[in-house]
């Protein structure tokens, strides 16, 4: 998750109550704010440059995997029973009879110009097909993310504060269930209860009300994971010297919990949750299928089954690029949360 | 709360609202309104190009926008005029003359005439990547002496041509300019026009007030949705979000019957599952071995306990399709006879073979494969199941890496010739096909395909089936049926056995 160089202060920046003091200490060491921002810019540019090679590697892997997997797009394209010479002709028209290296070179030549090929099945440019669907997946992922954290954070905090209480045990049990339940099963259960039985929400489709059930289904695992992280992180920071000192100085319990203990839980939480956002993005396939959510997941599923090579490649590259950017955003967020973090 | 935190929260909220607001500007399902009907199925809606698609759902969806010259009636057994008012076949059977229906317009107001028909056929013949290229390639020449007449000439006799033409949806005259390209400007003569299309998600259609046939369609808005997950599809029907859920699993029949808002409809269709053989691999090259396998399967038990819907069938085609033979029993189950045949073939101790299964494509095909293997075990044949997805299984079959395969087939045009020609004569995998050793069978099939008299054709197909029973290239199991959950508010819904029915006569209370 990038390279970190912590600039440690004598007492820790939290002890003195916040970021402005930390900035002062940075200034005392003679490193100006502008220099810090310049280092950050360099770091971002370096990460973006590295991501080009990451995406190149991904493109090679997905290209080869598709072509090594049994299944011929020309055969899938034509009805069962099409003569071999027709299939061979279609393969030739699609360029699939050329050597693999030549096929990859053609693909790469187009990719650098933003052309990821044309869908074999739909005869439309592949990248716009993915970009048309990407917002729906982002919306679903973002709402799942927000719902998960909106529930997990307060639940985790209360569990930590009321440790070993009935509430704490209930939350732990539910968190274990949330991490164990298959998304598929949970999705069907939510549909049966909230849509069929109580008619509170729609069963499927795309819209503001339609997003609720799939988002809850998709976010359940993260909700469970994050609540456990918050709980364990809070319990660890409760025992730290600075929290004990803060309490002994007479600050309110609420301030001790949220301003001191919870803020230090954010670093591990952001680490895991940031990675999970990328996983949610790529792992929405099952949820999108159950709820007929018209996102990239269902597009990828159909394309894989139909061996629509350009579309699969476009989906994988686009999602990989998003994943890389999300990781970078998370790294930048670290610096925002904890000014001890500097990137060189 | 610090200023920084407040600013972060404000920005986060604004971003979230912007993201969600994007949804309301984008696609959204039409609110259920009076005069609207929604039907959902599994499968795909890849394209709105009427010549590109060949899947049953896609073809049916586009038949609401585009129409053929002639079509099958509701029973699927009789040809009826649509865009062609009438037609005649020359005495030599090689020339078809169609009189086009006057006063028909495309959705953009352009008149339908011979130019449109010729353009449709030209594109169909020229573009080699189309799903139903075979319909157009059978036409040697298309011409038009006047705007209301089209003449099609074929090189050889083709008894099934008119039936195959029911799959040729007529496009506007500019179709010829779209060879190799996607025809994505929906403009047909059908009762509906396209209001909204999202690939593999939904097709929303609005009724055309200027449709040539009075009194139809009965609904103002028709939505065809893809909901791949069966439970979710049924749930949508139970929740009242859709009026018809198609292609549900047989296990949902009791649930549908128990719902006061829904009616169960089980529709037998012209689709069948069967096992094919690699006749280059002994001992499957021995006719007695394949006969033994045909006798070893209890089709009634298969349909009752495994598939739970449909009917047993041991021959092809099924009742209702030209060529059906009542002589072959639906369930010729006889284990003793199967063992005796294996012994005669020198395989009394049995043998090992694999069965290639295209999993995930056909309901219950995995369970059918397991049942098949269990039945063959009783006569000493040890079957190993090789599960692959449909595309992978197709590749494996083409490479000849199989002993047996299980798959589904349909007669969507109502004529058996295409099936026999593909499966037996050309046999997609001709190198391994059993018909390669049966020139007598191939000759009979080609003769039946060129016999214009229906009675003579029927006799030929019956002889073909007798010949196929004596030396089976395939073993059939069943005639499939589709399960529907239909809202009781829906009237006049009568799906045909071809599955290519339209909903223009269906109304909703």
Query: For B187-225, how does the pLDDT look when each residue is reduced to its tens digit (9 = 90+)?
Result: 999 999 999 999 889 999 999 999 999 999 999 999 999
pLDDT for B8 equals 63
In B476-508, which positions are buried (b, 16+ CB within 10 angstroms) versus exposed (e)? bbbbbbbbbbbbeebeebebbbbbbbbbbbbbb
pLDDT for A28 equals 42
Q: Which of B5-9, B136-140, B202-206, B363-367 has the highest mean pLDDT?
A: B202-206
Q: Does the beta carbon of A277 lie under 8 angstroms from any beta carbon of chain B?
A: no
pTM score above 0.90: no
- Half-sphere exposure (Cβ direction) of B38: Cα atoms closer than 13 Å: 22
Residues B338 and B293 sit within 8 Å (Cβ to Cβ): yes
By C-alpha distance, which of A310, A272, A269, A325 is closest to A138?
Answer: A325
Under 8 Å CB-to-CB from A113, ≥6 apart: which residues?
none
Structure tokens at B118: 């010729």
User: Using CA of residue A28, residue A33, residue A35, residue A36, what is the dihedral sign?
Assistant: positive
Structure tokens at B435: 């018909």
Q: Specify the DSSP element, H or E, that contains A174.
A: helix A166-180
Q: Which residue of A has its CA nearest to B47?
A: A122
Is A26 or B482 the better-scoring residue by pLDDT? B482
Of A79, A89, A203, which has the smallest distance from its Cβ to B241's Cβ? A203
- For chain A, positions 179-198, list CB contacts with chain B under 8 A: 188, 191-192, 195-196
Cβ contacts from A onto B, under 8 A: 167
A-interface mutation test, from B6, B9, B23, most A Cβ less than 10 A away: B23
C-alpha A163/C-alpha A235 separation (Å) is 8
Tell if the CB–CB gap between B392 and A305 is shorter than 8 Å. no
- Half-sphere exposure (Cβ direction) of A48: Cα atoms closer than 13 Å: 8
pLDDT for A32 equals 63
Q: Does the beta carbon of A69 lie under 8 angstroms from any beta carbon of chain B?
A: yes
Q: Which residue of A has its CA nearest to B198?
A: A294
Tell if the CB–CB gap between B23 and A139 is shorter than 8 Å. yes
C-alpha B282/C-alpha B289 separation (Å) is 10
pLDDT for A15 equals 31
β-strand partners of B405: B276, B356
β-strand partners of B483: B248, B266
Tell if the CB–CB gap between A202 and B201 is shorter than 8 Å. no
pLDDT band at B506 (very low <50, low <70, confident <90, very high): very high
Tell if the CB–CB gap between B4 and A19 is shorter than 8 Å. yes
Does residue B436 register a pLDDT over 90?
A: no
pLDDT for A90 equals 85
- Angstrom CA distances, B455 to B74, B159, B448, B450, B452, stand at 22, 12, 11, 13, 9
Give the Cβ contact number of residue B403 at 10 Å. Answer: 20
DSSP state of B410: E
Residues A212 and A139 sit within 8 Å (Cβ to Cβ): no
CA A12 to chain centre: 31
- For chain B, positions 409-438, list CB contacts with chain A under 8 A: 409, 418, 422-423, 426, 428, 430
Q: Does the beta carbon of B20 lie under 8 angstroms from any beta carbon of chain A?
A: yes
Q: What is the mean pLDDT of each run of 10 residues along chain A (344 residues)?
A: 33 34 41 68 84 91 91 80 79 89 93 91 91 92 92 89 87 89 92 94 92 94 91 81 72 69 73 76 83 91 90 92 84 70 56
Structure confidence by residue, pLDDT tens digits, B315-341? 888 888 888 989 999 999 999 999 999
Query: Which residues in chain B touch residue A86, judged by CB atoms under 8 angstroms apart?
Result: 128, 133
Q: Specify the DSSP element, H or E, that contains A9.
A: none
Q: Specify the DSSP element, H or E, that contains B19.
A: helix B3-25
- Coil, helix or strand for A144? helix
Q: Which residue of A has its CA nearest to B395?
A: A71
Tell if the CB–CB gap between B22 and A146 is shorter than 8 Å. no
In A172-194, which positions are buried (b, 16+ CB within 10 angstroms) versus exposed (e)? eeebeebeebebeebbbebbbeb
Q: Does the beta carbon of A72 lie under 8 angstroms from any beta carbon of chain B?
A: yes
C-alpha B212/C-alpha B216 separation (Å) is 9
Tell if the CB–CB gap between A292 and B389 is shorter than 8 Å. no
Q: Which residue of B has its CA nearest to A185?
A: B231
Structure tokens at A269: 């939480």
Query: Which residues in chain A touch residue B241, judged by CB atoms under 8 angstroms apart?
Result: 202-205
Q: Does the beta carbon of B182 lie under 8 angstroms from any beta carbon of chain A?
A: yes
- Coil, helix or strand for B384? strand
Of A75, A86, A138, which has the smallest distance from its Cβ to B19's Cβ? A138
Question: How close is the nearest chain B Cα to the Cα of A215, in Å?
Answer: 13
Q: At what angle do helices A126-161 and B3-25 cross, to 10 degrees?
A: 140
pLDDT for B28 equals 43
Question: How close is the nearest chain B Cα to the Cα of A169, in Å?
Answer: 31
Question: How close is the nearest chain B Cα to the Cα of A166, in Å?
Answer: 31
Query: Which residues in chain B touch residue A298, judged by CB atoms under 8 angstroms apart?
Result: 200-201, 228
β-strand partners of B266: B483
By C-alpha distance, which of B259, B236, B253, B218 is closest to B492?
Answer: B218
Tell if the CB–CB gap between A305 and B390 is shorter than 8 Å. yes
Question: How close is the nearest chain A Cα to the Cα of B373, in Å?
Answer: 24
Among A50-54, A324-328, B433-437, B473-477, where is mean pLDDT lowest? B433-437
Tell if the CB–CB gap between B24 and A211 is shorter than 8 Å. no
pLDDT for B414 equals 81
Q: Decide: residue A45, CB within 10 A, 0-12 exposed, 13-18 middle, 19+ buried.
A: exposed
Q: Decide: residue A280, CB within 10 A, 0-12 exposed, 13-18 middle, 19+ buried.
A: buried
Cα Dmax for chain B: 93
C-alpha A109/C-alpha B391 separation (Å) is 28
Give the Cβ contact number of residue B334 at 10 Å. Answer: 15
Q: Decide: residue B73, CB within 10 A, 0-12 exposed, 13-18 middle, 19+ buried.
A: exposed
Q: Which residue of A has its CA nearest to B46?
A: A122
- For chain B, positions 241-300, list CB contacts with chain A under 8 A: 241
β-strand partners of B244: B39, B486
Mean predicted confidence (pLDDT) in B279-284: 93
- Angstrom CA distances, B174 to A55, A67, A315, B8, B118, stand at 41, 36, 33, 55, 10
Tell if the CB–CB gap between B392 and A299 is shorter than 8 Å. no
Question: How close is the nearest chain B Cα to the Cα of A234, in Å?
Answer: 20
Does residue B134 register a pLDDT over 90?
A: no
Q: Does the beta carbon of A128 lie under 8 angstroms from any beta carbon of chain B?
A: no
By C-alpha distance, which of A119, A120, A69 is closest to A91?
Answer: A120
Query: Which residues in chain A touch residue B24, judged by CB atoms under 8 angstroms apart?
Result: 207-208
Among A134-143, A317-326, B13-22, B134-143, where is mean pLDDT lowest? B13-22
Structure tokens at A91: 């393969």
C-alpha B384/C-alpha B370 separation (Å) is 9
Residues A256 and A264 sit within 8 Å (Cβ to Cβ): no
Question: How close is the nearest chain A Cα to the Cα of B26, in Å?
Answer: 9
In B344-377, which positions are buried (b, 16+ CB within 10 angstroms) versus exposed (e)? ebebeebeebbbbbbbeebbbbbebbbbbbebbe
Residues B279 and B433 sit within 8 Å (Cβ to Cβ): yes
Residues B227 and A294 sit within 8 Å (Cβ to Cβ): no
> Residue B33, by phi and psi: left (phi above 0), alpha (psi -120 to 50) or beta?
beta
């Amino acid at each position: 998750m990038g390279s970190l160089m912590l600039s440690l202060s004598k007492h820790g920046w939290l002890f003195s109550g916040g970021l402005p003091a930390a900035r002062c200490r940075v200034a005392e060491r003679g490193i100006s704010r502008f220099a810090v921002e310049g280092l950050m810019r360099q770091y971002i540019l370096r990460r973006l440059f590295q991501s080009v090679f990451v995406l190149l590697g991904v493109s090679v892997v997905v290209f080869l995997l598709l072509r090594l997997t049994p299944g011929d797009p020309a055969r899938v394209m034509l009805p069962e029973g099409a003569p071999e010479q027709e299939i061979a002709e279609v393969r030739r028209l699609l360029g699939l009879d050329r050597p693999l290296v030549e096929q990859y070179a053609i693909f790469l030549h187009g990719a650098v110009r933003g052309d990821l090929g044309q869908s074999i099945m739909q005869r439309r440019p592949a990248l716009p097909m993915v970009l048309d669907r990407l917002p729906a997946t982002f919306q679903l992922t973002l709402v799942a993310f927000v719902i998960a954290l909106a529930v997990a954070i307060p639940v985790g905090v209360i569990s930590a504060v009321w440790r070993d209480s009935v509430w704490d045990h209930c939350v732990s049990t539910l968190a274990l269930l949330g991490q164990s339940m298959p998304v598929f099963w949970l999705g069907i259960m939510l549909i049966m209860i909230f849509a069929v039985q109580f008619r509170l929400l729609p069963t499927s489709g795309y819209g503001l009300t339609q997003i609720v059930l799939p988002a809850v289904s998709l976010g359940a695992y993260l909700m469970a994971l994050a609540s456990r992280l918050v709980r364990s992180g809070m319990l660890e920071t409760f025992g730290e010297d600075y929290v004990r000192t803060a309490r002994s100085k007479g600050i309110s319990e609420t301030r001790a919990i949220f301003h001191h203990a919870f803020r230090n839980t954010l670093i591990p939480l952001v680490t895991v949750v940031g990675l999970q956002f990328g996983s949610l993005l790529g792992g929405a396939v099952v949820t999108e299928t159950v709820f007929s959510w018209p996102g990239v997941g269902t597009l990828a599923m159909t394309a894989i089954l139909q061996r629509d090579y350009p579309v699969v490649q476009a989906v994988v590259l686009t999602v990989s690029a998003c994943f890389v950017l999300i990781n970078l955003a998370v790294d930048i967020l670290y610096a925002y949360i904890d000014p001890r973090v500097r990137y060189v | 709360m610090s200023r920084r935190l407040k600013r972060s929260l404000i920005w986060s909220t604004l971003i979230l609202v912007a993201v969600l607001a994007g949804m309301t500007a984008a696609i959204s399902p039409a609110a259920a309104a009076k005069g609207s009907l929604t039907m959902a199925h599994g499968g795909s809606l890849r394209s709105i190009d009427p010549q590109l698609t060949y899947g049953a759902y896609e073809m049916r969806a586009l038949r609401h926008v585009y129409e053929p010259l002639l079509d099958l009636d509701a029973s699927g057994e009789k040809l009826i005029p649509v865009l062609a008012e009438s037609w005649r076949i020359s005495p030599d059977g090689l020339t078809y003359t169609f009189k086009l229906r006057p006063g028909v317009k495309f959705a953009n107001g352009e008149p339908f005439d011979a130019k449109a028909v010729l353009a449709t056929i030209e594109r169909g013949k020229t573009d080699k990547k189309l799903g139903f290229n075979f319909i157009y390639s059978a036409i040697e020449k298309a011409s038009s002496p006047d705007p209301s007449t089209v003449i099609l000439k074929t090189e050889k006799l083709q008894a099934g041509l008119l039936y195959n033409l029911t799959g040729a949806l007529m496009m506007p005259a500019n179709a010829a300019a779209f060879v190799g390209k996607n025809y994505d400007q929906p403009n047909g003569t059908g009762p509906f026009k396209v209001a909204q299309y999202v690939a593999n998600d939904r097709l929303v259609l609005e009724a055309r007030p200027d449709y040539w046939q009075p009194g139809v369609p009965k609904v103002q808005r028709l939505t065809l949705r893809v909901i791949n997950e069966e439970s979710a599809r049924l749930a949508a029907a139970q929740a009242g979000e859709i009026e018809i859920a198609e292609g549900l699993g047989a296990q949902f029949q009791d649930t549908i019957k128990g719902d006061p808002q829904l009616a169960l409809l089980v529709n037998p269709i012209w689709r069948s599952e069967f096992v094919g053989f690699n006749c280059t691999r002994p001992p499957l090259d021995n006719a007695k071995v394949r006969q033994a396998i045909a006798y070893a399967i209890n089709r009634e038990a298969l349909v009752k306990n495994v598939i739970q819907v449909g009917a047993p069938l041991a021959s092809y085609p099924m009742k209702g399709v030209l060529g059906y033979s009542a002589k072959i029993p639906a369930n010729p189950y006889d284990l003793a006879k199967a063992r005796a045949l294996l012994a005669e073939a020198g395989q009394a101790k049995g043998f090992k073979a694999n069965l290639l299964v295209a999993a995930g494509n056909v309901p219950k095909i995995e369970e059918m494969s397991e049942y098949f293997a269990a039945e063959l075990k009783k006569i000493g044949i040890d079957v190993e199941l090789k599960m692959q997805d449909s595309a992978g299984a197709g590749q494996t079959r083409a490479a000849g890496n199989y002993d047996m395969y299980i798959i589904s087939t349909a007669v969507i045009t109502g004529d058996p010739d295409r099936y026999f020609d593909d499966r037996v004569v050309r046999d997609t995998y001709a190198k391994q096909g059993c018909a390669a050793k049966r020139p007598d069978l191939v000759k009979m099939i080609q003769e039946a395909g060129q016999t214009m008299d229906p009675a003579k054709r029927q006799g030929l197909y019956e002889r073909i089936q007798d010949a196929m029973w004596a030396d089976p290239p395939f073993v059939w199991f069943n005639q499939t049926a589709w399960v529907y959950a239909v809202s009781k508010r829906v009237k006049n819904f009568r799906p045909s056995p071809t599955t290519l029915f339209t909903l223009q006569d269906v109304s909703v209370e």
